[in-house]
Structure 1
Amino acid sequence: MGEQQCHSRSLHSHSDSPTVRSLSISVDEQNVIPGALSLIRELRPDWDLRHVQTKLFTDGITNKLLACYLDTSMKDAVLVRVYGKRTELFVDRKDEVTSFEMLRAHGCAPELYCTFQNGLCYEFMRGLALGPEHVCQPHILRLIAYEMAKYHCIPAHNGCLPKAVLWQKLNKYLSILHTEEGIEDRRLAEIPSLKVLEQELNWLQKYLPTFESPIVLCHNDLLCKNVIYNEEEGHVRFIDYEYAGYNYQAYDIANHFNEFAGVSEPDYRLFPDRETQLEWLRHYLGASRRLKGEEGEAQDKEVDDLCIQVNQFVLASHYFWGLWALIQHRYSDIDFNFAQYAMLRFKQYFHVKPQVTALQPAK
């Protein structure tokens, strides 16, 4: 293939891994347990369904997630994830399965047991789902930086040069919002107009590529709860690969830094200060070098330059999730104030824009 550009879907060949089992079962999003037990009957035929215990996780604001297991240690738990209403607007489900399998092949994801009509079943990862109070702790921060470096060092399929998924997705989200322009909603009064959002996207598309951030395989949704810390084994793993795909290195890191604020009631005072960012980035660059078989530590200028790039991409992250929340506000049945969340993300975008654009790399 040579060094040609390619879109994220063509990067991972489905023939590289065994075909994932597909079950023609649909699970009712409002009543998950009966459908989940139908899946367990297929996946774990030796389990006595009368003894299957279930646990519904309430952290997600996109999908419903249920664990099914026999013993309280949840050693062999099966996770059943039911896609939220109209989430196909954001997520290409074929790409999600492909990313899942690729990450699994590189030791970054659990086993994917099957797909079903409106979801996935996969291996439960034991450990603590982190909160904002954890991700800034030095030993956990170091583990997260290492795990992200592992993602970013996964080579592109057949040596092609991937394109960032960011612009394609943002333009798609904006076009979805344009289809229902003019619908009055008083809860959106403090949200910038679509015209203003379009102007900002045009500016971002011209401005951010000038920083020449490398395009790598990214998680793209590294909020705190998507980081599972296994203290016993001394590592973290990332979960939920719906938004995984090739993107700017600096975007993935910036997005994680934004998520230090939390989701349900974001507090952007928790955004990591410069000292914490530099510590994180030094661990990340050191891990990247080791994973590539290179020697030596990251130089100060390399760390500083990446820090400036990351802070520019903070804007793209706020903009992305602001648009996402506006679409969710329109379509989602999940009990979450998406309008308020969109307002907060856009407010923070315009608040930090003059600060980050003033940052310039040292000569």
Structure 2
Amino acid sequence: MVAIEGQNPGLAAAAEAAGRSIPKEARGLLHELAAEWADVADCRALEVVPLKGAMTNEVYQVRWLTGPGGEGEAEGEYRKVLMRVYGEGVELFFDREDEVRTFECMSRHGHGPRLLGRFPTGRVEEFIHARTLSAVDLRDPEISAIIASKLRDFHNLDMPGPKCVLMWDRLRNWLKTAKRVCPSDEAKEFRLDSLEKEITALESEFSGEEQCIGFCHNDLQYGNIMIDEETRALTIIDYEYASFNPVAYDIANHFCEMAADYHSEEPHVLDYTKYPDVDERKRFVQTYLSCSEGEEPDEQKVQDLLNSIEKYTLASHLVWGLWGIISEHVNDIDFDYMEYARQRFAQYWLKKPTIIACHADE
């Protein structure tokens, strides 16, 4: 969920404020890391650059100027790491220890940045020298095809733990939390009392299908994907919501994220005219399936997956609608979570009749 901003007076002020607000334990860890690098003259002379676009945590680039002749990293001018300060209330969404175990497992298998150290309210990670994707990149046919291939590899990861679907339990747990934190007027506005019935209906609707279960990212928005411009290699980052789920849900969630631009002047505003059209969705699924079969996928398999994906968009809207409601009450990051939730629920109620009717006879 990160993208480095250009240098400007506002950013400089934000960087100075961020530097002052680094937790004491984090500062000590950063000093220890930098002290091990021979090309860093002063391990305490660190610069902190806030990275825009994070909605669960606060994320910063921390860097040290390297001395003359130092090897440094990438540009040869700075040593860089990424510092993640956990957002308030995240324990309501996922178990942080489970997330860290996933992160460490992914790192060991070369699928993400290395974990450099932890402090009570966050961690320090390897800084990946690659470009974070933008909202526009998701619509680029070449990049979309690379994402499809990478996502298939991700889904096939043999991760530890039970390989059972998590999404329905997550939805019910988040619904209970939303009811607990919401005042009565909000609960009425979002029809929270009717959502248990909606979740049960969706689970029943999908349970009869032959589904492919894989290790899913569950939050594959553009800010969680990085690309090496030279090699075109992709790295998927941020595994906070990752779990085993139907792969159709993960792809559906990715398609829904194409409506968002979290780096715009109104980052909470969603534009569903940007949801991929039939041809875009079909190209993505064909690439995704051909990665495993090594040849052109069967047309019926393509269509079956496309149908499942469309149905799982409904689950995606409920998941992130509830996330928005809860976040509004527990997170102080500058983002209009409540309006975001309204849009996700509005899309759910708008699309549900058509999607269910279209696939009723399948």
- TM-score, structure 1 length as denominator? 0.83
Report the secondary structure of 1:49's partner residue: coil
Q: Deviations over 1:302-353 (max 9, x none)?
A: 1111000111100111100000000001111111111100000000111111
Asked if 1:136 corresponds to 2:134, the answer is no
Letter in 1 for 2:331: S
- Cα deviation 1:246-278 (Å, max 9, x = unaligned): 111111100000000114221111000010000
Find the partner of 1:216 among 193, 214, 218: 214
Kindly indicate whether the alpha-carbon contact (under 8 Å) linking 2:219 and 2:241 is maintained by their aligned counterparts in 1: yes
1:52 to 42, 46, 51: 46
CA distance in 2, matches of 1:140, 1:44: 35
Deviation at 1:128? 1.9
**Alpha carbons of structure 1 residues 53 and 256: separation in structure 2 relative to 1, 3 Å:** same
By relative contact order (CA 8 Å, sep 6+), the higher-ranking structure is 1
Q: Look up the match of 2:114.
A: 111
Letter in 1 for 2:57: N
Counterparts of 1:102 and 1:342 in 2: how far apart (Å)?
A: 32
Deviation of the 1:361 alpha carbon: 9.5
Mapping 1:235-314, distance limit 5 Å? 235-262=233-260, 263=262, 264=267, 265-289=269-293, 295-314=294-313
Q: Structure 1 stretch 44-53 or stretch 270-279: which is displaced more?
A: 44-53
Measured against aligned partners, the alpha-carbon deviations of 1:143-162 in whole angstroms (never above 9, x if no partner) come to 111110111111254xx861
RMSD of aligned C-alpha atoms?
2.4
In 1, are the aligned partners of 2:218 and 2:243 still within 8 Å (CA)?
Answer: yes
CA, structure 1 residues 320+105, in 2 after alignment: closer, same or farther (shift >3 Å)? same
Secondary structure of the equivalent of 1:107?
A: coil
**2:46 pairs with 1:37:** no
Match of 2:8 in 1: none
Q: Give distance in 2, aligned partners of 1:267 and 1:35.
A: 41
The Cα shift of 1:139 comes to 0.8
1:167 aligns with 2:168: yes
Amino acid at match of 1:238: I
Q: Quote how far apart the aligned CAs of 1:33 are.
A: 6.9
CA distance in 2, matches of 1:50, 1:114: 17
SS in 1 for 2:116: strand
Query: Do the aligned partners of residues 56 and 305 (structure 1) sit closer, same or farther apart at CA in structure 2, a change above 3 Å counting?
Result: same
Q: Per-residue displacement from partner, 1:234-257 (whole Å, max 9, x unpaired)?
A: 111111110011111111100000
- Pick closer, same or farther for the CA change 1:29–1:214 going to 2, 3 Å: farther
Q: What's the counterpart of residue 180 of structure 2?
A: 179
CA distance in 2, matches of 1:198, 1:87: 22
Measured in 2, the distance between the counterparts of 1:110 and 1:359 equals 42
Write the deviation string for residues 29-85 of structure 1: whole angstroms up to 9, x where unpaired. 992376543221122323423432221112101111111122583774211101111
- In the comparison of the two structures, how many residue pairs are matched? 326
Q: Secondary structure at the match of 1:179?
A: helix
Structure 2 residue ranges without an equivalent (≥5): 1-17, 66-73
Percent identity of paired positions between Structure 1 and Structure 2 = 33
Q: Secondary structure at the match of 1:77?
A: strand
Deviations 1:201-244 (A, max 9, x none): 12122112222322111111011111112111211111111001
Q: Equivalents in 2 of 1:179, 1:94: separation in Å? A: 24
Alignment-derived partner of residue 99 in structure 1: 102
Larger mean CA deviation between 202-211 and 80-89 belongs to: 202-211
Q: Which moved more, 1:231-240 or 1:29-38?
A: 29-38
Contact persistence 2:31–2:44 (CA under 8 A) = no
Q: Structure 2 counterpart of 1:306, which letter?
A: L
Query: Structure 2 vs 1, CA of residues 105 and 347 (structure 1 numbering), >3 Å: closer, same or farther?
Result: same
**Given that residues 34 and 43 in structure 2 are in contact (C-alpha distance below 8 angstroms), is that contact kept between their aligned partners in structure 1?**
no
Q: Matched residues in 2 for 1:319 and 1:97: separation?
A: 26
Q: Distance in 2 between matches of 1:54 and 1:183?
A: 41
Matched to 2:88, the amino acid is K
1:227 equivalent among 205, 225, 228: 225
Deviates more, 1:37-46 or 1:67-76: 67-76
Conservation of the 8 A alpha-carbon contact between 2:181 and 2:326:
no
Within the candidate set 128, 133, 141, 1:125 is matched to: 128
Structure 1 CA distance for aligned equivalents of residues 295 and 164 of structure 2 = 30
Shift in alpha-carbon separation, 1:100–1:328, aligned structure 2, 3 A: same
Structure 1 residues 361, 181: CA separation in 2 closer, same or farther (over 3 Å shift)?
Answer: closer
Q: Does 1:62 align with 2:66?
A: no
| Aligned residue type for 1:354 | P
Contact 2:328/2:337 (8 A) holds in 1: yes
Name the stretch that deviates more: 308-317 or 223-232.
Answer: 223-232
Candidates 145, 149, 154, aligned match of 2:148: 145
CA gap 1:29/1:49 in 2 versus in 1, 3 angstroms: closer
C-alpha distance in 2, partners of 1:285/1:362? 24
CA contact (8 A) 2:147 2:234 kept: yes
Amino acid at match of 2:62: C
